[in-house]
Chains A and B, each alone.
Chain A
Amino acid sequence: MKYKLEAKNIDVFYGKLKALNNINIGITENAVTALIGPSGCGKSTFLRLFNRMNDYIDSFKLNGDILIDDKNIYEKDVFVDELRKNVGMVFQKPNPFPKSIFENVAYGLKIQGIKDKEFINTRVKDALKQAALWEEVKDDLNKSALALSGGQQQRVCIARALAVEPSIILMDEPTSALDPIATAKVEKLIHTLKEKYTIIIVTHNMQQAARISDYTAFFYMGDLIEFDKTNTIFTNPKMERTENYITGRFG
């Protein structure tokens, strides 16, 4: 079986602290993979390896290989900005720029140097449609993104990531700042997005992981305890730790 993304013998250190311990995992294309585990177990650290967002942390050190389409993305000849055009990210807290909705979604295209207005307009519209936000904002794309509700802001951020047509989307607790209705919208969206994208999502919400993901990885204190089809993890986990965590006995 071939994987879209692979982590091989991954160790991560923040100074002396070992945040991830010998992680090996293969992530399937056009599927949703959920990362679960108690706070501080290394989910965000792991997720951010795939777009090299940890590179900015001075004390960060990585051993092992991260492969995307069989290419090690930590090799010297990889351009980080090119990589990130292929690997979009949605953060925990909605973080639109203090610009208009349109400018937010067009941002990735503009920094790529694309000038063609027609092209940008179409992409922005498509991205907003995919992010299930178009109907709500189509009359007022020049409105500041900061004037939107939290759920709408998060969908602007999703649209912003989609507009550059990446093949992978990383989401770090994308619904933790949203109310149940906005959460439901984003979940539905993730479900439709997996037709075109490979999605990795960090979540603290067990029901959410069970609802939207195809695969689930359970982390505990820097170790990958169990990784399997979501169905298996939630109905028939092999490790007791996993079972305890998903049934809420600790964590």
Chain B
Amino acid sequence: MYKTKEKIIEFILKTTALITVLTTIGIIWVLLNESIIFFKEVSIIDFLTDTQWTPLFANKHFGILPLISGTLLTTIIAISVSLPIGLTIAIYLSEYAPKKLKKIIKPLLEILAAVPTVVYGFFALMVVTPFLQKLIPEMAGFNSLSAGIVMGIMIIPFISSLSEDALSAVPKYLREASYGMGATRLQTSFKVMVPAASSGIIVSVILAFSRAIGETMIVAIAAGQQPRLTLNPFVPVETITAYIVQVSLGDVQHDSLEYRTICAAGMILFILTFILNNISFWIRKKFREEYE
């Protein structure tokens, strides 16, 4: 009896794992297939070097660079907001806050990541942009700055939580050694704890980065839908994800070249996040060895 139960549970677990793996493989397979068809019509060189992305217009250009720049611009703005804030919170929680307070604040912060992103999107469009326009009159209604800032707020808990875990995982005796030498909490934090937790902190930033790259709703709502190769944060741009939404929801005919552009764009997105996740996996593995 006991054995059959074990077997059933094992079977369920295996099936679930298998389904997950199969789904992933399925997604990659579809992306790859459609992309191959796409690249029969559009040269890869054009795709990677052309500076315009106008597949839905009469004069078609298939340069992915504007979408990549839009994606990276919003993401980098988001990281510049979330890294200093997230790291400050992490250091405060692990080095200063009483344990009880930490137990309250950490889950509260994680709510930030659980707010539906459509809410963030409208917040960026209706609150942040009008506010910033008062300071920067030339700012457009859709822009990467508001979208990036709000996205940065959303990913704060990725950085604060994971960095806090990394800081707390630093052996207690290092903190004691530093205090024992007469170091203040601030000195101990920055000279001992942060360097010792650096790999974990880097991992948290990479994960936040890859979350920001994949974020769709906020940028689709607040950053605009104009593919533009620019570093100007005040003008409308389009990210890879926003483009995919635009085409998916639009009236583009399925099984057309225009439709396949989203697979090619999706492929790029997939490759970007795949690389980032692998880097973080690799760092985490190394990090684990360091303390064992």
A and B held together in a complex: yes
Q: Is B181 touching A91 in the complex (CB atoms < 8 A)?
A: no
Q: Is A91 touching B187 in the complex (CB atoms < 8 A)?
A: no
Q: Is B183 touching A111 in the complex (CB atoms < 8 A)?
A: yes
Give the interface size bracket for B toward A.
20 to 34
Among A93, A97, A112, find the residue whose CB has the most chain B CB atoms closer than 10 A. A97
Note all chain B residues with C-beta closer than 8 A to A107.
Answer: 178, 181, 183, 191
Q: Is A108 touching B182 in the complex (CB atoms < 8 A)?
A: yes
Q: Is B181 touching A95 in the complex (CB atoms < 8 A)?
A: no
Q: Evaluate whether A95 and B182 lie within 8 angstroms (CB atoms) in the complex, with A107-B191, A111-B187 already known.
A: no
Q: Evaluate whether A81 and B183 lie within 8 angstroms (CB atoms) in the complex, with A58-B98, A97-B192, A111-B191 already known.
A: yes
> In chain B between 172 and 194, which residues have their CB closer than 8 angstroms to a CB of chain A?
173-174, 176-184, 187, 191-192
- Name the CB-closest residue of A to B173: A95
Let me know if A51 is at the binding interface, CB within 8 A.
yes
Separation in Å of the B44 CB from the closest CB of chain A?
45
**Set B176, B181, B187, B191: member contacting A164, Cβ < 8 A:** B181
Note all chain B residues with C-beta closer than 8 A to A84.
Answer: 179-182
- Name the CB-closest residue of A to B184: A81
Q: Evaluate whether A97 and B179 lie within 8 angstroms (CB atoms) in the complex, with A58-B98, A111-B187 already known.
A: no
A contact residues, total (Cβ < 8 Å)? 28
Separation in Å of the B123 CB from the closest CB of chain A?
38
Let me know if B99 is at the binding interface, CB within 8 A.
yes
Note all chain B residues with C-beta closer than 8 A to A82.
Answer: 182
Separation in Å of the B201 CB from the closest CB of chain A?
14
Q: Count the A-B residue pairs with Cβ separation under 8 angstroms: how many?
A: 64
Let me know if B195 is at the binding interface, CB within 8 A.
yes
Q: Is B183 touching A89 in the complex (CB atoms < 8 A)?
A: no
Separation in Å of the A134 CB from the closest CB of chain B?
20
Let me know if B83 is at the binding interface, CB within 8 A.
no
- Name the CB-closest residue of B to A86: B182
Q: Is B176 touching A91 in the complex (CB atoms < 8 A)?
A: yes
Separation in Å of the B273 CB from the closest CB of chain A?
31
Separation in Å of the B134 CB from the closest CB of chain A?
43
Let me know if B223 is at the binding interface, CB within 8 A.
no
**Set A81, A97, A157: member contacting B182, Cβ < 8 A:** A81
Separation in Å of the A87 CB from the closest CB of chain B?
9
Note all chain B residues with C-beta closer than 8 A to A112.
Answer: 182
Q: Is A51 touching B180 in the complex (CB atoms < 8 A)?
A: yes
> In chain A between 76 and 129, which residues have their CB closer than 8 angstroms to a CB of chain B?
80-85, 88-89, 91, 93, 95-99, 107-108, 110-112
Let me know if A43 is at the binding interface, CB within 8 A.
no
Note all chain A residues with C-beta closer than 8 A to B89.
Answer: none
Separation in Å of the A161 CB from the closest CB of chain B?
7
**Complex alpha-carbon distance, A81 and B184, angstroms:** 6
Let me know if A155 is at the binding interface, CB within 8 A.
no
**Complex alpha-carbon distance, A127 and B200, angstroms:** 33
**Complex alpha-carbon distance, A97 and B176, angstroms:** 11
Let me know if B64 is at the binding interface, CB within 8 A.
no
**Complex alpha-carbon distance, A58 and B179, angstroms:** 16
Among B98, B176, B177, find the residue whose CB has the most chain A CB atoms closer than 10 A. B177
What is the interface of chain A, defined by CB distance below 8 A to chain B? 51, 53, 56, 58, 80-85, 88-89, 91, 93, 95-99, 107-108, 110-112, 157, 160-161, 164
Task: A96-B177, A107-B181 are known; give 11 further A-B pairs, CB within 8 A.
Answer: A83-B182, A89-B180, A91-B173, A97-B196, A98-B195, A98-B290, A99-B195, A111-B182, A111-B187, A160-B177, A161-B181
